[in-house]
Structure 1
Amino acid sequence: MTAITESNTTHQPVRKELLIDGYEVVIGIEIHCQLNTKSKIFSSSSTKFGNEPNTQASIVDLGLPGVLPVLNAGLIERALKFGIGVNAELGMLNTFDRKNYFYPDLPKGYQITQMENPIVGKGYIDVIVNEGEKNEYGKRIGITRGHLEEDAGKSVHDAVPGMTGIDLNRAGTPLIEIVSEPDMRSSKEAVAYIKAIHQLVTWLDISDAIMAEGSFRCDCNVSVRQPGEEFGTRTELKNLNSFRNIENAINREIERQIDIIEDGGKVVQATMLYDPEADETRIMRTKEDADDYRYFPDPDLLPVRLEQETVDAIRASIPELPVVRRERFGTELGLSEYDARVLTGSRELADYFETVLEAVGKQHAKLTANWIMGDLLGALNKEDKTITDSPISEVQLAGLLKRLNDNTLSGKLAKQVFTALYDGEGGDDADAADKIIEAKGLKQETDTGAIKAMVEEVIANNQAMVDEYKGGKEKAFNGLVGQVMKASRGKANPQQVNQILKEILG
């Protein structure tokens, strides 16, 4: 596997190839990840996405006089899983604070968060930058903290032309805000980090992390400096809803800041908006400092002290993490680094692979990987589906591969059976492939006598091709093989065809 060559890169010299016009880029990321509890952080209101506006905001979410928040215990388990997943210090004492600011979609006029005592402390995650490319490299990104907080509502622009509406359904939805160290030195590194966090939270099943629905949102803090100098003035890019937009927005902001400095100006600390149509960043508002939010302890919420037994139980419940599973696929199954990465792209995909492999045998790991990564994922990608949408179950694919392994099917015939399975033929059972083979007459011909007869007939009918082969043209041999396979309607065993042809032609 690719080694992680850098630790906390705040203290590392920048890679020369990452300098832009002589400037070093410094990037830190804040990720707001909604946790997948059914109810909100301090109330019993539903967290379901897509309901009619303002139909699931209770009096607690609105902060009406006389109501008291009650912490949802499910958040503790999910946050601890994340902390363990990023090798972090865990906060055994948790307190909550009020972050005060006015915005139309913040009904209470303050947000309940964790300022002084977050549940997740310092940790790290290892990422692969430029994955699959020649200039691929590993890097360790530090994590400063992960704290619990409630989400705000949502401003809906132009629902009525010229007006902005407020939807408070999201108000009070539980979040973990994940704050990185300023360790990233390019947009590629930033995207690699965000993808790694995205994979982790879905792998641990603590969030659906659907960016299009706002359950996984990223704010990117960007600054530039001359190598070796103090950090420059940072700006914060907000409301980025895709990996592509994140990379483009960071690149445009880098260009904007360098242009300002080169023209003799100064970068102003601000919140930035990225316009994907114009492919440019622009200032939304000047940025506040922490003091502007007047943090103070929330008087309605008692501290939460965790017991070690709770942490130990949660640690024991965590599934094998992606990096560990990749290593095992390489060491135990002999898969290449690329294959192992693809197959651990999601927990569901890795589980699918291992379920199929359990049925066909570990000695067939490479064959199983090839069919899943090539034929199955290729078909799913064409329809913009994931492995969870696969019309071919694990037992069905295992049944197909067993028939390939015992020479009932050739590779060509197996693809025909695969297509039929994908189209829903053969039923849902493990013998679905067998039913298709029987119904369509797709069993491979392995009888030596029958194949020899076909070979002899092809030789007799293609004397010119035979003479070319004997004259030294190797391509003619492939032509003869093709004629035999055509005569057998693709059912003859290719290895036997090759062997018998060579024997007869001398």
Structure 2
Amino acid sequence: MAAYEAVIGLEVHVQLSTASKLFCSCPTSFGQPANSNVCEVCAGMPGALPVVNRQAVHYAALVGLATNCEVHRRSVFARKNYFYPDLPAGYQISQFDMPICEHGHLDVTVDGRSKRIGITRIHMENDAGKNIHAQGENISYVDLNRAGTPLVEIVSEPDMRSSQEAVAYLKALYGIVTYLGVCDGNMEEGSFRCDANVSIRPVGATAFGTRTELKNLNSFRNVQRAIEYEIARQQDALADGEAVVQETRLYDAVKNVTVSMRGKEEAHDYRYFPDPDQLPVEISAEEMERWRSELPELPQHRMARFLEMTGLPEAEAEVLVQSRALADFFESAAAASDARKAANFILGPLMRELNARGGDFSQCAMTADGLAELVRLVDKGVISAKIANDIFPDLFSTGAMPENYVKERGLVQISDSSALEAAVDKVLADNPAEVEAFKGGKTKLMSFFVGQIMRATRGKANPAMVNELLQKKLS
């Protein structure tokens, strides 16, 4: 089979976390009764005049600044004309030849190698409604609650060559928009979604192959699986002497296949023209400087600093910056304790608790001060690492401060040498055969003795002192 390389570009739609829609005052809240968040403007009634939401412009500019784009101080809204039941006006208000942001880039790292992904443009637009196809009924419904919700569409250059690069780029974008606070990042509710354009070409070729557009990609895992399937499908088609057809395909996550949705032989002619109801969007120099000053430390830069603080492998440091709330939590805990040990508690027991609860950090009742105190208790020998791990679920869910918690429950580590010596002597006396075997060369039995002593003391024995006493008595 001929050797091919993939050419991948992503179109990412980011729902902006404004309280109201892009051109009217209707709320953007999710999960409301159908058609309850609707007015004359978002319902596309003739004569209703839209007025742009200035907060949406602010948020779009922040995304552009954070992705190294040129943010234009003047941009223009246009009408994108097409007919679909969930588009009541018969056109979408978007931006065409004068978008708010252009010519940006993001740097991502895959398998230890850095790759720069170009960003062609970022433009604002209002979302369409939602078609609901009732099962068992020959009828469809339209819910316009989502119509008019503010979006930015981030269009990449076709610079990605693997599914791994596509996911790394998508995760980088996700981190940026959630750190900025301009998007809640809820992929299940459609707040952050993407379409992938995928083609293949012989290795060394410069001309692009025929591309397909993949839709219904609602998780990072599905983006990777869908792209990998589509690359393989196109390779098989060419190997069989078939042509790749330009079309839109849906990804079926259950079957892990892409299926044809509609042909797309030519680019759609949306007959764009400037929206006559909208004045150009103007951003003053003072506004631009003020917005630039609002930019937080973004995930990529924060991770580099965390790597230096902790000496962790890159994959583990990446976990610490997966959300701004978690990164803030770690940084506060690290400032009041040992950074590497605080990170280890987050990467181990804290992530275990989060994963058991669906990964929602808001469910963590433990404070950063609480985690720092737990690290210090272990460092000082007040409790063992085992006890710390055992009590972590309670501390996570209740927010109790560790020092009071262990004192109230009698969990303070036994570091009294006479008490430990008595426990060691009893375990050795109760296991004479193992003592003889150890002295005969079976040194792996040391862990057996330690385990017996920890069991006898309910995990409260100081492990370092136990090992020291055992070495002394068994030598």
TM over 0.5: yes
Change (3 A) 1:279 1:436: closer
Name the amino acid aligned to 2:425.
E
Moved more, 216-225 or 248-257: 248-257
Q: 8 Å contact 2:364–2:397 — kept in the other structure?
A: no
Residue by residue over 1:441-487, the C-alpha shift from the partner in whole angstroms, topping out at 9 and shown as x without a partner, is 11111112222233333334433333222222212333333333333
Amino acid in the other structure paired with 1:253: E
The Cα of 1:324 is off from its aligned counterpart by 0.7
What SS does the corresponding residue of 2:42 show, helix, strand or coil?
A: helix
For 1:84, which of 56, 65, 77 is the aligned residue? 65
User: In the alignment, is the contact (CA less than 8 A) between 1:400 and 1:418 conserved in 2?
Assistant: no
Query: CA deviation digits over 1:41-61, x for unaligned, max 9?
Result: 011011111111111121111
CA distance in 2, matches of 1:482, 1:55: 63
State the SS of the aligned residue for 1:31: strand
Superposed displacement of residue 435, structure 1: 2.8
Q: Which residue in the other structure is 1:115 paired with?
A: 96
The question of whether the paired residues in 1 share the 8 Å contact of 2:309 and 2:339 is answered with no
SS of 2:71's partner is coil
Q: Which amino acid aligns with 2:379?
A: N
- Asked if structure 1 preserves the Cα contact closer than 8 Å seen for 2:95 and 2:124, the reply is yes
How far off is 1:288 after superposition? 7.0
Q: What is the match of residue 280 of structure 1?
A: 257
Match status 1:25 vs 2:1: no
Q: Is the Cα contact below 8 Å between 1:38 and 1:47 reproduced in 2?
A: yes
Partner of 2:117, secondary structure, is strand
Q: Distance in 2 between matches of 1:442 and 1:158?
A: 58
Whether the 8 Å CA contact 2:309–2:340 is kept in 1: the answer is no
C-alpha distance 241-416 of structure 1, shift in aligned 2 (>3 A)? closer
Partner Cα separation in structure 1 for residue 394 and residue 344 of structure 2: 19
Counterpart amino acid of residue 151 in structure 1:
D
Instruction: Quote the residue 1:329 is aligned against.
Output: 306
- Give 2:170's aligned residue: 194
Residue type of the alignment partner of 1:58: C
1:270 match: 247
Asked if residue 310 in structure 1 is aligned to residue 287 in structure 2, the reply is yes
- The residue aligned with 2:474 is 505
- Give the match for residue 361 of structure 2: 387
Selected match of 1:399 from 373, 380, 387: 373
- Alignment partners' CA distance in 2, 1:282 and 1:461: 68
Once the two structures are superposed, the pairs formed by residues 95-494 of structure 1 within 5 Å of their partners are 95-129=76-110, 135=111, 137-158=113-134, 161-227=137-203, 228-287=205-264, 289=266, 292-360=269-337, 364-422=338-396, 424=398, 428=399, 432-494=401-463
Q: Does the CA contact (< 8 Å) of 1:368 and 1:401 recur in 2? A: yes
User: Do the aligned partners of 2:353 and 2:393 also contact (CA within 8 Å) in 1?
Assistant: no
CA contact 1:94–1:117 (8 Å) conserved in 2: yes
Distance 1:154 1:447, change over 3 A: same
Partner of 1:15: none
Gaps of 5+ in 2: none
> Residue 67 of structure 1 aligns with which residue?
48
- How far apart are the structure 2 equivalents of 1:283 and 1:477? 63
Superposed displacement of residue 21, structure 1: 4.4
The two structures have a TM-score, normalised by structure 2, of 0.94
- The verdict on how the C-alpha distance between 1:168 and 1:444 changes in structure 2, with shifts beyond 3 A counting, is same
Q: Distance in 2 between matches of 1:467 and 1:260?
A: 70
Structure 1 gaps, min length 5: 1-19, 130-134
RMSD across aligned positions (CA): 2.1
Equivalent residue pairs, number: 474
CA shift for structure 1 position 301: 0.9
Q: 1:279: Cα distance to partner?
A: 3.4
Deviations 1:151-175 (CA, angstroms, capped at 9, x unpaired): 1111111256222211111111100
Secondary structure at the residue paired with 1:325? helix
Question: Cα deviations across residues 195-249 of structure 1 (Å, max 9, x unaligned)?
Answer: 2212221121111121211122211111222231411222211232222332232
Sequence identity, in percent?
48
C-alpha change, 1:419 and 1:222, in structure 2 (3 Å) is closer
User: Which deviations, in whole Å up to 9, do the C-alpha atoms of 1:285-315 show, x marking residues without a partner?
Assistant: 2227556111111111111222222122112
Q: Which residue matches 1:6?
A: none
TM-score of the two chains, using structure 1 as the length reference: 0.88
Q: For 1:224 and 1:505, how far apart are their aligned partners in 2? A: 67
Letter in 1 for 2:114: G
Contact persistence 1:53–1:168 (CA under 8 A)? yes
Name which of 458, 464, 472 aligns with 1:495.
464
1:410–1:444 Cα contact (<8 Å) kept: yes
Cα distance between partner residues in 2 of 1:415 and 1:335: 20
Comparing 368-377 with 305-314, which one deviates more in the overlay?
305-314
Range moving further from structure 2, 276-285 or 321-330 = 276-285
1:250-270 per-position Cα deviation (integer Å, ceiling 9, x unaligned): 233333333443444433322
The SS at the match of 2:41 is helix
2: distance between equivalents of 1:319 and 1:348? 13
Q: Which stretch shifts more, 326-335 or 169-178?
A: 326-335
C-alpha distance in structure 2 between counterparts of 1:276 and 1:332, whole Å: 40
State whether residues 335 and 365 of structure 1, in contact with CA within 8 Å, keep that contact through their aligned partners in structure 2: no
Structure 1 residues 323-332 or 225-234, which shifts more? Answer: 225-234
Structure-2 change in CA distance of 1:175 and 1:502 (3 Å) = same
